[in-house]
Amino acid sequence: MPRRYAIVDNKIVETEDPKAPVLLYINPDDQERKRLVEEFLIDEHTLGSALDPDEAARLEFEPNHVAFILKRPKNYCGKDQLFFKPATLGLFLFADRLIIVLAEDTTLFEGKAFLRVGTLLDLVLKVVYRSIFHFLEHLKVINLLSDEVEQKINRSMENKYLINLFALQKSLVYYQNAIHSNGGLIEKMRHNAPKLGFTQEELDLLEDTYIENGQCYRQAEVYANILASLMDARAGVVGNNLNVLMKTLNIITIAIMVPTLVVSIFSMNVKLPMPQNSGFWPFWLILGLAGMALGTFLIGWRWINRRK
């Protein structure tokens, strides 16, 4: 069943009135889709576009309504593993009714913009306006996450942080495309303003929406360019960290091998230059020689490093 909303005192209020002017369908089933197509004469392809996350934003004029296909950020959850992807929603504006179709449940009418709603067309504009700020909020989160992942890359040698960075970069590409697509929708709304019947206040909001969307797109572009330009450098940091670790392990291995060599020489089953039945002093002699060999190696290594 759809959720019903009414405009009361310039606010969006949920209601049980079957004649409510705003109907919200969340992932409609086959029966609800059939009703939307047959009763409200919504084009079946356009209805499918409202539920397709890969569909582009657009504006279509039908005989009895206007269809707005809009891009918005998809709700993020932990299993997405730092991959943000846009979703699609459809707004079908009739003379006395607005039908909104979503693929997943979300809080749609939130924010200051919805505290003062005049008409159904005004509500459409504010849904578009809110989607832009939703993108901006996600872009800020992506930027913070990228900074955090960069710090982990500087200290780690694991590929998972590079994979996380690739996911964020891919998310920005998707967001760029979605924001640019919304820009085409807003541009078409501006060109068809007389046909849509905007008031002067709604035209001002439409202009603000156009400007904000352009700024949102440029911000996404800047973040995407930064991630793309520094990706090779970050991969090099991981490789350099691995080289430093291997160097340390090699030093430790050689340091262990040097005293082991001394002990191995005296452990050979051959005649050694020391008297038989000489007590414990050969043990301490061998141990001392092994310690001297280790000390000589460490001193030599430090001297070599200072010469570099």
> Above 70 in pLDDT, residue 126?
yes
Amino acid at 93: L
Region 262-281 average pLDDT: 65
Quickly count helices (H) and strands (E) in the chain.
7, 7
Q: Are residues 31 and 165 in the same domain?
A: yes
Region 122-135 average pLDDT: 92
Q: Are residues 166 and 135 in the same domain?
A: yes
> Above 70 in pLDDT, residue 54?
yes
Q: Does residue 106 sit in helix, strand or coil?
A: coil
| Surface-to-core class of residue 157, CB atoms within 10 Å of its CB (0-12 exposed, 13-18 middle, 19+ buried) | middle
Q: What residues form DSSP beta bridges with 24?
A: 3, 100
Local confidence band at 308 (pLDDT 50, 70, 90 cut-offs):
low
> Given 192, 215, 241, which residue is the final one in a domain?
241
Region 234-238 average pLDDT: 64
Q: Considering only 178-182, 209-213, 279-283, which range has the smallest mean pLDDT?
A: 279-283
Q: What is residue 275's predicted lDDT score, i.e. its pLDDT?
A: 62
Q: Are residues 73 and 199 in the same domain?
A: yes
Range of the domain at 261: 244-307
Q: Are residues 225 and 293 in the same domain?
A: no
Q: Are residues 165 and 29 in the same domain?
A: yes
Region 82-88 average pLDDT: 90
Local confidence band at 307 (pLDDT 50, 70, 90 cut-offs):
low
> Above 90 in pLDDT, residue 23?
yes
> Given 211, 241, 271, which residue is the final one in a domain?
241
Q: What is residue 158's predicted lDDT score, i.e. its pLDDT?
A: 66
> Above 90 in pLDDT, residue 131?
yes
Region 217-221 average pLDDT: 93
Q: At what angle do helices 281-307 and 200-266 cross, to 10 degrees?
A: 140
Q: Are residues 11 and 124 in the same domain?
A: yes
Q: Which helix (H) or strand (E) holds 91?
A: strand 86-93
- 150-170 residue pLDDT tens: 787 766 666 677 788 888 888
| Count of structural domains, the chain | 2
The enclosing domain of 102 has a CATH number of 3.30.460.20
> Above 70 in pLDDT, residue 38?
yes
Q: In this structure, what are the phi and psi dihedrals at residue 88, rounded to the nearest 5 degrees?
A: -125, 145
Q: Are residues 135 and 273 in the same domain?
A: no
Local confidence band at 120 (pLDDT 50, 70, 90 cut-offs):
very high
> Above 70 in pLDDT, residue 214?
yes
Average pLDDT value for the chain: 84
> Given 241, 262, 281, which residue is the final one in a domain?
241
Local confidence band at 18 (pLDDT 50, 70, 90 cut-offs):
confident
Q: What is residue 109's predicted lDDT score, i.e. its pLDDT?
A: 86
Give the residue, 244 or 228, on which the prediction is more confident: 228
Q: Are residues 147 and 267 in the same domain?
A: no
Q: Are residues 170 and 146 in the same domain?
A: yes
Q: Are residues 215 and 294 in the same domain?
A: no
Q: Are residues 154 and 186 in the same domain?
A: yes
Q: Is the pTM of this model over 0.85?
A: no
- 90-111 residue pLDDT tens: 999 998 999 999 988 888 888 7
> Above 70 in pLDDT, residue 17?
yes
Q: What is residue 232's predicted lDDT score, i.e. its pLDDT?
A: 64
Per the CB < 8 A criterion, the answer to whether 90 and 47 are in contact is yes
Residues 6+ apart with CB under 8 A from 286: 262, 263, 266
Q: Are residues 68 and 170 in the same domain?
A: yes
